[in-house]
Chains A and B, each alone.
Chain A
Amino acid sequence: MSRITRRDFVKTSAGLAAGAALGKGLLIGEAHAADLSYKPEKGAKLRVLRWKRFVQGDEEQWLANTRKFTEKTGIEVRVDSEGWEDVRPKAAVAANVGSGPDVIIGWFDDPHQYPDKLHDLSELANYLGKKYGGWYDVCRTFGTRDGKWIALPLGVIGNLFCYRQSHARAAGFETFPADLSGFLKLCQGLKAKGTPAGLALGHAVGDGNDWVHWLVWSHGGKLVDEKGNVAINSPETIAALEYSRELYATFIPGTLSWQDPHNNKAFLDGQVSLTNNGISIYYACKNSQDPKLREMAADVGHGAWPVGPVGRRTEFMQVTQAMLFKYSKYPNAAKEYLRFMWEREQFDPWMQASIGYVTGPLKDQEKSTIWTADPKHTPYRDVAKGLLDNGYAYKLGAASAAAMADCILIDMVAAAASGSKTPKEAAAEAEKRAQRYYKI
């Protein structure tokens, strides 16, 4: 027996005029797509679990938008937050026991671990995609399974190279290098000037995974091939690991134990001049009471990930998405809530309040003024364009999640870079570990 009431959505086509407007490419928000709305169940109440704010404004605006929804529809919505990594076990428990918050905003491949527990959001996702210029490829990959939308991507937590422009100039680089050899030379130059780089090689779920995936993929290496066979022990991976050794030699000591917050602290402390991070470092400087840090804000630059021998962007960042669980008693109310929150009128102020920390999943969201309000924001606008998913080159699922949770790639790069294993040994060990998840 299904408790789901018959979906009652109203499609009010704006008619031929709107169709023509679409053809003319009007700006977002105009009535150029058939509007969609869901009729909430009687007496509906919603519980939403999301990750704890990354920046103050994000949570405030999210709650303000939610209040707006409640005022408009009369549906009470309770929003709870947990630390970003702690949402994942809670979501897994909710999925397994069949009870919990109606909507959970989780991470990475969470929805692919329990797809049968989630509502089909295809209609809503297709509507939003059509209205706002389409979903980025990586968001589509994370949000869909077998052609069906099982989650609604909320955005990408942009992660780029944050560096001190004056230190890069002193090392001979006016602009941030676009290729791997240039990047290595920059790091070597920084080291020679006594202002080294530092990238996390501990089990840093965000910053660590982001850069090691880029490192391996940019050289053409991959954990699994298109058929799901473990393919990490390859000449391309070995080349990436050789490169990591040269790069590691330019790092500040101690990066092997770095977790996500370490690089922020080291950068703000002036111990490193280059690291990979979200926009938080820049904002920590800009909003600081300390005049030295405020001065540093003007010197912080954001550099895109250099392209490797594969000749295209191969980056990895945190993708976050909303899941609507089948156990929810009010699926229509939840869908209406999601629709409301994703509409430009709510989404754009939220993205603005998130000061560039979250890049929207829909292509038209590039037009938001947040990306031009400060030139240092602009590089974060384009992060979603060059992303791959952690299941690459196969599909997302329990194996990809387990392989990342086990930090196989981070450990491999850390072992090879630090010299505790040769690149061949490190790749062979990673292969063995990956085979546990991707059964031979």
Chain B
Amino acid sequence: MRSAAADASGTDYLESLPRKLVTVYLPLGVFLFVLLFPFYWMAMTTVKPNAELYDYKTYSPFWVVHPTLDHVKKLLFDTSYPSWLWNTVLVSVSSTAISLVASALAAYAIERLRFRGSRYVGMGIFLAYLVPPSILFIPLATMVFRLGLFDTRLALILTYPTFLVPFCTWLLMGYFRTIPYELEECALIDGATRWQILTRIVLPLAVPGLISAGIFAFTLSWNEFIYALTFVSSSEVKTVPVGVITELVEGDVYHWGSLMAGALLGSLPVAVLYSFFVEYYVSGLTGAVKE
């Protein structure tokens, strides 16, 4: 009985409170502080009236005395923020979906079809990811103009995959590599086609990988700035990152309250998405089938 109790407590005797405080809680606290402080600052600034925002002597910069929703009201009712948010959702979801389909097919082909030069194709895709968007946007702009897509949401939906596909393909290649060959070989023996193997065996096993690639792709397109800046002009098709800068910065006067409200509201959907899929996301990064 005694030994069972000792087994249950395991190595707990090593975990004294002060030790745990130093090795777990303190680093965790610092980590949380660093991660959450920007959100705290955004939230504080969102509800802080301008008089407090500019007066550090009378008011603490870290607290708000007379909270107000004026900045949020200005953001939601005096700017086109709701339509920017809708555009951002539409563009991010569409480009993520396109990229995931393309990447899943590409990654599977490179990893499993073993055609000649597949390694180099994989490497080439990775290299494509390294081309910075600040260089790529000029040739892309020419294509967007020639296709008559300038100033439309489609311009962004079709250009975002240029950086999403390489990234997702690379991520999924790594993920597919962790799925044992044996599963596919069994399916081949049972007479399954390549397409059946992909849709019935590999993709169901790769759901965590697809989710983590999807979250990454969604976040990247949600926050994208330079393509959104150059390929659309009209306020009604702008996305949040470009819209808030255009409407809430007047020369050297920054409407900090509304800017922070815009940033806060804009980051919430991504945060919610992460919280829903966090488990898949973690397992997506650590491999498919644990042996």
Residue positions of A touching B, CB distance < 8 A:
49, 52-56, 80-84, 86, 89-90, 93, 96-101, 157, 206-207, 260-261, 264-265, 268-271, 277-278, 280, 284, 288-290, 292-293, 357
A54-B246 CB under 8 A given contacts A80-B233, A93-B141, A270-B57: no
What residues of B have a CB within 8 angstroms of the CB of A357 in the complex?
Answer: 251
What residues of A have a CB within 8 angstroms of the CB of B57 in the complex?
Answer: 269-270
A52 touches B247 (CB 8 A): yes
B252 touches A207 (CB 8 A): yes
A93 touches B230 (CB 8 A): yes
B250 touches A278 (CB 8 A): no
Q: Which of A89, A93, A98, A277 contacts B252 (CB 8 A)?
A: A277
In the A-B complex, the 7 residue pairs with the smallest Cβ-Cβ separation, listed nearest first, are A54-B251, A99-B145, A260-B252, A97-B142, A261-B254, A80-B233, A93-B141
Residue positions of B touching A, CB distance < 8 A:
50-51, 54-57, 137-138, 141-142, 145, 150, 226, 229-230, 233-235, 242, 245-247, 249-254
Closest-by-CB residue of B relative to A268 is: B54
Q: Which of A84, A90, A99 contacts B251 (CB 8 A)?
A: A84
| 21 A–B pairs (Cβ distance < 8 Å), ordered by A | A53-B250, A54-B253, A55-B250, A55-B251, A56-B250, A80-B233, A80-B234, A86-B246, A90-B233, A93-B137, A96-B142, A97-B142, A100-B150, A206-B252, A264-B253, A265-B54, A269-B56, A278-B252, A288-B50, A289-B51, A292-B55
What residues of B have a CB within 8 angstroms of the CB of A53 in the complex?
Answer: 250-251
B252 touches A86 (CB 8 A): no
Q: How far is the CA of A96 from the CA of B245 in the complex (A)?
A: 24
A93-B251 CB under 8 A given contacts A86-B229, A98-B145, A265-B54: no
Closest-by-CB residue of B relative to A259 is: B252
Q: How far is the CA of A268 from the CA of B253 in the complex (A)?
A: 11
- Measured CB to CB, the closest approach of chain A to B155, in angstroms, equals 12
Q: How far is the CA of A302 from the CA of B63 in the complex (A)?
A: 34
A90 touches B229 (CB 8 A): yes
Q: How far is the CA of A206 from the CA of B137 in the complex (A)?
A: 26
A290 touches B249 (CB 8 A): no
What residues of B have a CB within 8 angstroms of the CB of A292 in the complex?
Answer: 55
- Measured CB to CB, the closest approach of chain A to B28, in angstroms, equals 30
A82 touches B233 (CB 8 A): yes
Q: Which of A99, A101, A269, A280 contacts B253 (CB 8 A)?
A: A280
What residues of B have a CB within 8 angstroms of the CB of A207 in the complex?
Answer: 252
A86 touches B245 (CB 8 A): yes
Q: How far is the CA of A284 from the CA of B249 in the complex (A)?
A: 14
15 additional contacts (CB under 8 A) given A49-B233, A96-B141, A271-B56: A52-B246, A54-B252, A80-B234, A81-B246, A82-B246, A86-B229, A90-B233, A93-B138, A96-B138, A97-B145, A100-B150, A269-B57, A270-B55, A280-B251, A292-B55
A264-B51 CB under 8 A given contacts A80-B234, A82-B229, A90-B229: no
What residues of B have a CB within 8 angstroms of the CB of A157 in the complex?
Answer: 251
Residue in A81, A97, A280 whose Cβ sees the most chain B Cβ within 10 Å:
A97
A280-B252 CB under 8 A given contacts A97-B138, A290-B51: yes
- Measured CB to CB, the closest approach of chain B to A229, in angstroms, equals 30
Q: How far is the CA of A142 from the CA of B242 in the complex (A)?
A: 29
- Measured CB to CB, the closest approach of chain A to B66, in angstroms, equals 12
What residues of B have a CB within 8 angstroms of the CB of A90 in the complex?
Answer: 229-230, 233
What residues of A have a CB within 8 angstroms of the CB of B55 in the complex?
Answer: 269-270, 292
- Measured CB to CB, the closest approach of chain A to B94, in angstroms, equals 23
Residue in B51, B137, B226 whose Cβ sees the most chain A Cβ within 10 Å:
B51
